[in-house]
Structure 1
Amino acid sequence: MHSMSTEARRASEWTIHGERIVDDSRRAVLSIADVELPDGVRFEQYVLRVPAAAMVVVLDDAERVLMMWRHRFILDRWVWELPGGYLDPDEDPAVCAAREVEEETGWRPRSIEPLVTFQPMVGTIDQANIVYLARGADPTGAAPDVNETERLGWIPLAEIEQHMQEGRIVGAGSVAGLLAVLLRRATGTL
């Protein structure tokens, strides 16, 4: 792997001359940054700052994943998604992940382990997405949150790729988490 010198890295960094807030809501701050490229070109870039999110791939002993069938109005499509949500201030991500599974699905994960962390839109959004793997879950007796999902499904890992290809799994967190599980399965590290 090629290593850049500190000077070369700094020479390729963008310069931020300022940032003005356009909207500041409970869950997001939208601003416009005045940035300059290394070659001197200057422009405005939208920036969205939102809390980190935690999601969970709940995998049962039959290699099926607990997913939620829900409508996303922005896309105007029904899609399968992993349970998850925003972290509360100072909340431990693993605690948030387990809480979100239980609140949204009515299932309590038996275990939680880190799987993958990624940035969904690194050029615009500063949000970390932290995906966990839960091995097994127990029903709590509570119904799934009607505001979160129309129905739940235990989707076989063998069908995940087809759901992605056919546009039924499209969310960045779901795709990244499921691909990480499929990679572990393919390399024998699951």
Structure 2
Amino acid sequence: MSTQARRASEWTIHGERVVDDTRRAVLGIADVELPNGVRFEQYVLRVPPAAMVVVLDDDERVLMMWRHRFVIDRWVWELPGGYLDPDEDPATCAAREVEEETGWRPRTMEPVLGFQPMVGTIDQQNLVFLSRGAESTGAAPDVNETERLGWIPLTEVEQRIHTGEIVGSGSVAGLLAVLLAKANGRL
């Protein structure tokens, strides 16, 4: 695209160099130029896509995991989910992650939402699915993933977000999308 065809507010990327490249992330530094000509370097983190699931039972409770997140050093409620394997179907990944992490097998998988959690620095597609119900496999939850499981009433979700019990962007966005769908009669 020529410079003239670019939008007036579009940033120009003059290059990007890799600082660290691992299985789960590529950290780079981009050389960017603002529309007014100011040039600077910006860290960029590229992470594989992730998929998560709002598992909603017949009593309108959401399956969530109580887990410690060392980066923020807090215990929080989260939706089950994880990284997609290369070329993996997102719905397949989401269902696999629910079963691996919780011991529950989702009955259905409906796409709810796709989003980027931190577009100024991180490139990571997040996909949220809705499962209407789940069957217990009899397997115990993965001790490396969760301290315990809880079926949180959908009516309590907004308050738990406000009190900081639910803080992860995937969990917050997915749960709010489901609440919005319910409020608009789409659920």
Q: In the alignment, which of 130, 136, 149 is matched to residue 152 of structure 1?
A: 149
User: Any stretches of 5+ residues in structure 1 without a counterpart?
Assistant: 1-6
1:116-161 superposed Cα distances (whole Å, 9 cap, x missing partner)? 0000001111110000000000000111000000000000001001
Pairwise mapping of residues 123-134 of structure 1 onto structure 2 (< 5 A)?
123-134=120-131
The answer to whether residue 83 in structure 2 is matched with residue 86 in structure 1 is yes
What letter matches 1:111 in structure 2? T
- TM-score, structure 2 normalization: 0.96
What letter matches 1:66 in structure 2? L
Cα RMSD (Å): 1.0
How far 1:77 sits from its partner (Å)?
A: 0.5
Q: In the alignment, which of 41, 58, 62 is matched to residue 59 of structure 2?
A: 62
- TM-score, structure 1 normalization: 0.95
How far 1:93 sits from its partner (Å)?
A: 0.2
Moved over 2 A (4+): 7-11
Moved more, 176-185 or 10-19: 10-19
Match of 2:94 in 1: 97
Identity across matched positions, percent: 82
Match of 1:34 in 2: 31
What letter matches 1:170 in structure 2? V
Match of 1:77 in 2: 74
For residues 45 and 31 of structure 1, the distance between their equivalents in structure 2, rounded to whole angstroms, comes to 8
Match of 1:176 in 2: 173
For residues 103 and 9 of structure 1, the distance between their equivalents in structure 2, rounded to whole angstroms, comes to 46
For residues 78 and 111 of structure 2, the distance between their equivalents in structure 1, rounded to whole angstroms, comes to 18
For residues 158 and 118 of structure 2, the distance between their equivalents in structure 1, rounded to whole angstroms, comes to 22
